[in-house]
Amino acid sequence: MDRYQLAKLVQWAQECSAEGLKSRKRLQKVVYLLQCAGCPLDADYSLHYYGPYSGEVAQITDELVHAGLLVEEQTQNPVGKQFNYKLRGLAADSLGVFEATPTGHDARQRLAPFEERAKQLLELGLSELEYAATVAYFHQKETNWKSAFQKLCDFKRLSPDSCAAQSALRLAEQVVK
């Protein structure tokens, strides 16, 4: 994944909501699910306690903040801190400038088919994203929805009949290419 791709996701999030991209967990899971849908983001993921996690995505986010391209806002939620992101004006301008170049145009074209899916995912709840990304992760390892679903239920201690587990499975099945 590169800086442009991450900035583009934040821009899409801002188009959905003026508050921008809310929480790093949302970013992590949306990137993962988009990759499962075939979006060429190419971030490395491993399994953490809250589902698939990419140090690379976290790294690029912090790099963009450090470079003054993203604004990071910290809020408190019931379980701890949450970090939200928006593009700085400078970054929004340079996105436009870059997309006007031939290389930027190509980069834009590669992401364009996934814009609608990305916006749909960005608006979902955090738990739904976490469970869907987790079952999709197990599916990538097992290539079998039944055993991936069982692993999700064991891993997250969910009842297989619960709405949360069932809707995560439906979402993952829709997304995974």
Task: List residues binding another protein (CB under 8 A).
Answer: 2-4, 7, 23-25, 28, 46-50, 53, 55, 58-59, 62-64, 66-69, 77, 79-83, 91, 94-95, 98, 101, 103-104, 107, 141, 155
For another protein, the closer of residues 103 and 174 by Cβ is 103
Closer residue to another protein, CB minimum distance, 48 or 170: 48
Nearer to another protein, 127 or 167 (CB): 127
- Of all helices (H) and strands (E), which one includes residue 45? none
Return the closest-CA partner of residue 33 out of 157, 122, 165.
122
Return all residues near 82 (Cβ < 8 A) that are at least 6 apart: 22, 23, 24, 74, 75, 76
Crossing angle of helices 89-99 and 3-16, in 10° steps, is 110
Cβ at position 51, least distance to another protein in Å: 9
Min. distance of Cβ 37 from another protein in angstroms?
Answer: 21
**Token duo for residue 71:** 């604004």
Min. distance of Cβ 175 from another protein in angstroms? 20
Nearest distance in Å: CB 20, another protein: 16
Q: Which residue, among 11, 25, 35, has the nearest Cα to 117 in the 3D structure?
A: 35
Shorter beta-carbon distance to another protein: residue 57 or 171: 57
Looking at the Cβ atoms of 67 and 163, the one nearer to another protein is 67
- The interaxial angle of helices 3-16 and 102-111, nearest 10 deg, is 60
Write down the least CB distance from residue 49 to another protein, Å: 5
Q: Which two tokens stand for residue 128?
A: 């739904």
